[in-house]
A and B are shown apart, each in its own frame.
Chain A
Amino acid sequence: MIADRPAPEAFLAAARAEGRGQLKVFLGAAPGVGKTYEMLEDGAARLKAGEDVVIGVVETHGRAETEALVRPFEIVPRAEVAYQGRTLTEMDLDAVLARAPSLVLVDELAHSNAPGSRHPKRYQDVEELIAAGIDVFSTINIQHIESLNDVVASFTHVRVRETVPDSVLETAEIEVVDLPPDELIERLKAGKVYVPDEASRALGHFFSKSNLQALRELALRRAAHVVDAQMLDHVRAHALAGNFAAGERILVAVSEAPGAAELVRAGKRLADALHGTWTALHIETPRSRALGEAERQRLSETLALAAQLGGVTASIPAANVVDGLVAYATEARITQLVVAKSTRSRWFKLRHGSVVDRLVRETPGMAVHVLPDAGGAATPGASAPMPGPPPLAYAKALGLVAATVLLSALLVPLIGLGAIDLIFLLPVMAAATLYGLRPGLAAGVAASLAFNFFFLPPLYTFTVSDPSNLLTAVVLLGVAVAASQLAGRVRAQADLAASSARQNAALAGFSRALTGGTDLAELAQAIAAEMARLFDAKVTLWTGEGGLTLIAANPPEDRLGAVERAAAQWVLDRGLPAGRGSATLPAADWLFHPLKTSSGVVAVLGLARDDGRDPVRADQLPLLLGLLDQSALAVERLRLTDEMAEVSRLKDRDRLRAALLSSVSHDLRTPLTAVIAATAELRRQLAGQADTTAIDTLDTETQRLARFVANLLDMARVEAGALRLSVEPVDLTDAVAGAVHDLRRSLEGHAIDLDVPPDLPLVRVDPQLFHHILINLLDNAGKYSDPGATIAIRGRRTPDALTLEIIDAGPGLPPGREAQVFETFTRLEGSDRSAGGTGLGLAIVKGFAEAMGIAVGAANRGEPRGAVFSLRFPAALLMRATEEGA
């Protein structure tokens, strides 16, 4: 469960730091110590060192010396946010991200953004910048650090609402901007310190010398602590030393009480001081399930605060708080327990024993810290009273007593008075068991009175003279208390069992519902339906394939506002929750959670409620997370199944194709080789005899057949997408000379005009494929050129490309249909049919060229007539001819 902080986390922190930007925070004890000034000076030094430094946001407050420092920087213009008729300006996060400097200066880390911004807090903007690999300089005053908020408020009596979680500072480099209190007070008097108007009233006290000294000490200690923590991380990552298994584990018991937030902060401070890990634990008791909406909200805020401060949060069910705490603390080997002092009445304590006493008794070896519950007394009535039994329960309890009286009246003549008092135990036990303590007590009182009145002599009067009468009353009341306690406990455990059975049943039912889906749409619909049922909310499910798309909704829903879409997109990109009730885009109506697997975010789930309440209660969050994990696994499983099927299909097809290609190429080539060689032999044997027409025909036609077979195979490879490129720098001179050499037979009778300057760049192509391109183009030029005409090959360098042209002199191409010439099996009308060929050659040219990134073109030339086929090599394919030591 909660182990010691494991070393892998330190590795993770280091790994995360790679590729991320670095945050440097200028920490001051109070406004006016010169943080912004210091930050600008440091930034200017980086700027001077040649780095790309911009200002995201810096407040100069009109101070001339600060403004002078701002001048050298590029300032990213702020974004304007309209809010309640006013226009507020905020740092333009997207603009800074787009600008992607190496360092950005962002003043006032604790600033709250205008409502409607992407993040409510500026430190969240900064986190996004860091995640994008941008270094950030920022500033903060000590009282804005979350865990020190209470401490500062306790002696300055000024509480700031804008706080920054400690976790933000833990990975940051901290520079303390220090100014002795006397100098600061001087500066203040000289009007050199900017103080916001609304705060100025409180500040007279704030800037007292004793406060400033305390703040300064706090700032220095805090900086020292961060350095300490960072060094510890380093020690862990490098296994330099240490038995960290002996570390302290702190458990903070939180409730829905208003003071719980301070308890959490105290726990965090304790954990920091002891270098331990800490957990905020909420015990779900039968009582806590009866909480009101406001209390649930407060509880979830408290747990969120704990998570923000770096603690682990947990929520477990138990019959009562002490049992739960003891069980958890023992299992997690907790060393320090932090609880709030109970504000319950003395009477309650007498009856139940103090929670603290029991904790101390039942957790030997554990230090128990008891803090006063600061908020509890201040807000009376805030905590829910134990749900009272309905009035009907009292009536029923009294009814039981009345029935007993009647029954006893019937029985007395038969059995006498002796055992009647025992019969009166029955209604008391029944009422206590069935309706709880108070109806049980009521029944006890009524029973003892009725027994006294109806059956104890003197009859029909209340007598207390006999001590045994009093004893009867006491026994009846005691039975009521004991029975109700026992029954209450049994009922609570039954309730809890039922609740976890419900949760388990929900999970089991959920996974059953998900196994049915055979395609994504079906699965998504099942997820949406189940989630909607379990949370009684509207559900949408999105994927990111091909932009954010809705794949399922329950009930069917097709409209979402821009804010919601942005939130869903953000979740898809970051893999973190966003929307209502979360830290990002909380203004949205919908809450979005990612469905994450090891391969990333596979989908995004949206939840909303028509009545505008939070779609998921704090106590439902663990269930939601469990369901999300299951959903993600189901989606992943489906995708893997699909991929496997696709892969095996492709494999089969590839195997078949490869087998076909190699068998055809082998089976056709072998006889062709034999025929060609045999023809050559025949020609030699017939040499000197007059008529060689037949052998000439055999020769040229076999050669053509060989080329045709080669083309067919090439085309099959192109169309199957089975081209394997083996790219190397090729000299066009070599390539052209080789092609002309190989085609010398077909080109006999044509003059070849080679104009390929030797200083052209090399081109990065597959030499074999490129050879076939040239062979086919030259073959084509030979076929469609007038007999004896010159075929020109011309290479030219243009500013952004290199062009190779094959120019023939013949009928040319039909005007307007030049491009069609490259389509498979197109032989254009008007071209010389007797030249033969299937039109396959040019299709191969196009296929090969495009596979290598070469653009092909065909056009007619002016005078003399003819066609120009061009190959255009874009700059990316060109290679400067470098001479390494040549």
Chain B
Amino acid sequence: MKPRTILVVDDETQIRVLLRATLVRAGYGVVEAATARAALASLDIDKPEAVLLDLGLPDRDGLELLPLIRAKTQAPVLVISARGETEQKVAALDLGANDYVTKPFDTEELLARVRSALRQGEAREGIALPIVAGDVSIDLHAREIRRGGAEVHLTPREYGVVAELAKHPGRIVTHAALLTNVWGPGYRDNIEYLRVVMRNLRLKLEADASRPVLLVNELGVGYRLRVPEMASR
């Protein structure tokens, strides 16, 4: 089978070399681009299945590049950003990025994110599965959440939040997206409502609500439904 091609966009040679080594070892094909112009050209020529994008490029801001990438392909985009740039991360996600990793990153974590992102691409193509994470299963078709086989009763808001996360398993959903889709457009800044619902959800779904493994908080950005089975395929 032909290896799946991943486009690495970064102006730092060392990082590109490193990412190439890591990704090739994991069985992917890698194409590189050092500039935004080269990246856009590569999208047309190499038709990569995923993009790793550093936001700091010499010829164009990564945030500017994102919509241009989205105009060409639906391939998942992972943003590589420096720590502490929360607004940039949120902006990138809003502009269509699927996920982000923070420098300095752990290569294993990066690979897990890449796998997850590729899986999302498949899911979008219509392969919707019931999601299983530990002893919790989420079936969006049946609107049914089970834990240890027994159905868990959720309030409409709680179900709304879980469903919204489960539509993109493993992927970050921003606070704004959750609040807008579950509560309504007028609530996009009421993070406190989301926090409270998340607390209740954890009490109902997590083994230890103070050490969540399923419903994971992403600092200042949003939440992620972590699906172990996917991450460790």
Contact = CB atoms under 8 A, between A and B. Distances in A.
Nearest to B87: A726
Contact of B191 (A665, A706, A728): A728
A126 interface: no
Contacts of B181: none
Main secondary structure of the interface of B (DSSP, over half): helix
B210 A733 contact: yes
Contact of A672 (B104, B175, B183, B195): B104
A649 interface: no
B103 A767 contact: no
Contacts of B87: 726
Interface string A661-676: 0000110011111101
A327 interface: no
Contacts of B14: 670-671, 674
Bin chain B's interface residue count.
Answer: 35 or more
A710 interface: yes
A884 B107 contact: no
A865 to B, nearest CB: 26
Contacts of A737: 210-212, 217
A680 B203 CA distance: 36
A886 B157 contact: yes
Nearest to B219: A767
Nearest to A772: B84
B104 A669 contact: yes
B220 interface: yes
Contact of B104 (A676, A730, A758): A676
B215 to A, nearest CB: 10
Bin chain A's interface residue count.
Answer: 35 or more
Contacts, number: 122
A680 B190 contact: no
A139 B22 CA distance: 89
B67 to A, nearest CB: 24
Nearest to B105: A673
B210 A768 contact: no
B196 A681 contact: no
Contact of B103 (A673, A729, A731, A766): A673
B29 to A, nearest CB: 18
Contacts of B18: 673-674, 677-678, 681
Contact of B192 (A678, A736, A762): A762
Interface in A705-749: 706, 710, 726, 728-731, 733-734, 736-738, 740
A732 to B, nearest CB: 10
Given A677-B106, A733-B202, 9 more contacts: A665-B82, A670-B103, A673-B105, A674-B15, A674-B17, A677-B105, A733-B209, A767-B86, A768-B219
25 contacts: A665-B82, A666-B82, A672-B104, A673-B104, A674-B17, A676-B104, A676-B105, A677-B18, A677-B105, A680-B106, A681-B18, A684-B25, A731-B199, A733-B202, A734-B217, A737-B211, A737-B212, A740-B211, A758-B203, A758-B210, A881-B196, A881-B199, A884-B190, A884-B193, A885-B183
Interface of B: 12, 14-15, 17-19, 21-22, 25, 56, 82-84, 86-87, 103-108, 155-158, 175, 183, 187, 190-193, 195-200, 202-203, 209-212, 217, 219-220
Interface of A: 665-666, 669-674, 676-678, 680-681, 684, 706, 710, 726, 728-731, 733-734, 736-738, 740, 754, 756, 758, 762, 766-768, 771, 879, 881-886
- 3 nearest CB pairs, A to B: A734-B217, A673-B104, A767-B220
